[in-house]
Structure 1
Amino acid sequence: MDQTMPYTTATLAADLRELGLSSGDVVLLHASLKSVGFTAGGTHAVVQAFLDVLGPDGTLVVPTHTPDNTDPAVWQHPPVPEAWWPVIREQTPGFDPARTPSRWMGALAEAVRTWPGARRSDHPQVSFAALGRHAADIVAEHVLDDALGERSPLGAVYRLDGKVLLLGCGHDSNTSLHLAECRQQQPPMMRTGSSVRRPDGTSHWVTWTEVDPDESDFTQLGEDFEATGAMRVGPVGGAVARLGRQRALVDFATGWMAEHRVGANESAAHS
């Protein structure tokens, strides 16, 4: 460790303000907590830094996805035997926004999800949690077949002219780019499913059709967007952070995909 002193809520808040985060902002955060470095108070202190900067009129949004509650037939990392599939579908506890932990989203997302006053959308695969003034509106309408589209929290952040902050991670983690996918004329579609909790506490497997997400070109897309100068890059603690307006990002990505995913779009149009 080459830090001379621990970071604190106050020093991280100063870094966030210098980067361009302001009181009253709506910000969708993707974070690698370990990239920040040692902070006095750990995860709690980092979340508090965001809340201090955003103030009572701001809103912090994080992904609280549950990729383990997906169809086991498509699992690759690792795959599971086909004989297991029906057992997983039938026995996985149904998604419950209040009970189901996120998976692989990081400690910061989990801290926000469980913070007093946080609200969480009820999508069984790609939920988001929000904390602050617009939290309830952002998570209110998250339908199964528009997982990352207009009626998802991503669409709500867009309508609120929110920002995206990548804290110690890259555009391959930038979920807002999926909103641009959903805006393509004929994006590839897929069938998927999850276990969902009924009001009486029992679980059942549901299936639906949605846009097939593809992050394979997100890094290049993000680099091209940054080349326009539309994102501010700077330190937050020991992490490299990237901050930009989500509308500008999604609008750029929508055009970029229309141009660069021609083959995929044409295939979909003729399928």
Structure 2
Amino acid sequence: MSEADEQTEPRTRESLAADLRRLGVRPGSVVLVHSSLSSLGWVCGGPVVVVQALLDVLGPAGTLVVPTHTGVNSDPAGWVNPPVPESWWPVIRAHMPPFDPALTPSTAVGIIPETVRNWPGAVRSDHPRTSFAALGARAKEVTADHRLDSGLGDESPLGRVYALDGDILLLGVGHGNNTSMHLAEYRTPESPVAEHAAAVRTAAGEREWATWTEIDVDSDDFTRLGADFDAAHHPSIGLVGSARCTLARQREVVDFAVGWLKENRRRT
């Protein structure tokens, strides 16, 4: 039996918008969305309709934010899925195209963020590995001045969403995909640091292989952290289409995660 056969009716722009309102998405708010299109069921119009429904609910004063990460732009010495021969490493470091907000596609974040990235009027932060794209009234504010050594820290769109008291919408995904918890790692003194690298554009428009030091993030325990957050704060949980979704204030998530990481995470 196909997915369409199992649904009583197709998901539409109007039905998704109604579900989002019922969940608690508010006009004028800043919402960081992590998503899985397939979890919504059969959508008439696919990812374009999902983005339209989100924008309908947020309205002209609202702002939609999505991750548009590019993890492949990194040091091949750390690649494990799959690894590449060590003899290739110098070639990759010398020839990896520099990150370009307008051209570089996002990877491993789903088709909805890539749809937002290509949407008319979208703006994208200028980080070679952990960029975010945004649409709406605060889009430029959210994506501006994304520091190289603060990929998911306070000087990133995550920190801007926190400053604006925005929300997190997990659209058919769990807390394992909740990048805002990484902001808590940056705010935890015990978090280890590591050297990172990527191909970047210089101010003169030239390509260079840049290295920098920042927090060595780890999401392995985010599912457990998220379950404890849900039990303590009772965020809004409901269906959008066929997807189980969570809507929460980002500040509550990050502040809870800082305390949780200090108490529960032990790194050597």
What TM-score comes out, normalization by structure 2 length? Answer: 0.96
CA contact (8 A) 1:70 1:125 kept: yes
Question: Counterparts of 2:184 and 2:205 in 1: how far apart (Å)?
Answer: 36
SS in 2 for 1:213: coil
The percent of aligned pairs where both chains have the same amino acid is 57
Question: Counterparts of 2:180 and 2:235 in 1: how far apart (Å)?
Answer: 14
1:72-124 CA deviation, whole Å, 9 max, x = no partner? Answer: 10111111111111111110110000110001111100000010110100000
* Structure 1 position 180, deviation (Å): 0.3
Q: Residues 1-271 of structure 1 correspond to what in structure 2 (within 5 A)?
A: 1=3, 2-198=6-202, 201-261=205-265, 263-264=266-267, 267=268
CA contact (8 A) 1:94 1:198 kept: no
SS in 2 for 1:187: coil
Question: Counterparts of 2:196 and 2:177 in 1: how far apart (Å)?
Answer: 21
CA contact (8 A) 1:158 1:246 kept: yes
Question: Counterparts of 1:99 and 1:198 in 2: how far apart (Å)?
Answer: 16
CA contact (8 A) 1:21 1:53 kept: yes
* Structure 1 position 54, deviation (Å): 0.1
Question: Counterparts of 2:145 and 2:30 in 1: how far apart (Å)?
Answer: 17
What letter corresponds to residue 111 of structure 1 in structure 2?
A: T
What letter corresponds to residue 19 of structure 1 in structure 2?
A: L
Which sits farther off after the overlay, 192-201 or 20-29?
192-201
Question: Counterparts of 2:234 and 2:262 in 1: how far apart (Å)?
Answer: 20
1:174-205 CA deviation, whole Å, 9 max, x = no partner? Answer: 00000000001131000010001235554210
* Structure 1 position 230, deviation (Å): 3.1
SS in 2 for 1:258: helix
Question: Counterparts of 1:7 and 1:214 in 2: how far apart (Å)?
Answer: 35
Question: Counterparts of 1:84 and 1:39 in 2: how far apart (Å)?
Answer: 42
Question: Counterparts of 1:28 and 1:190 in 2: how far apart (Å)?
Answer: 26
1:234-265 CA deviation, whole Å, 9 max, x = no partner? Answer: 0000111111000000000000001112x32x
Where do 4+ consecutive residues of structure 1 move more than 4 Å?
Answer: none
What letter corresponds to residue 124 of structure 1 in structure 2?
A: P
Structure 2: runs of 5+ lacking an equivalent = none
SS in 2 for 1:144: coil
**What is the RMSD of the two structures over their aligned residues, measured on CA atoms?**
1.0
Question: Counterparts of 2:149 and 2:204 in 1: how far apart (Å)?
Answer: 23
CA contact (8 A) 1:93 1:197 kept: no
CA contact (8 A) 1:194 1:206 kept: yes
Structure 1: runs of 5+ lacking an equivalent = none
What TM-score comes out, normalization by structure 1 length? Answer: 0.95
SS in 1 for 2:18: helix
What letter corresponds to residue 126 of structure 1 in structure 2?
A: T
CA contact (8 A) 1:166 1:243 kept: yes
Question: Counterparts of 1:185 and 1:229 in 2: how far apart (Å)?
Answer: 24
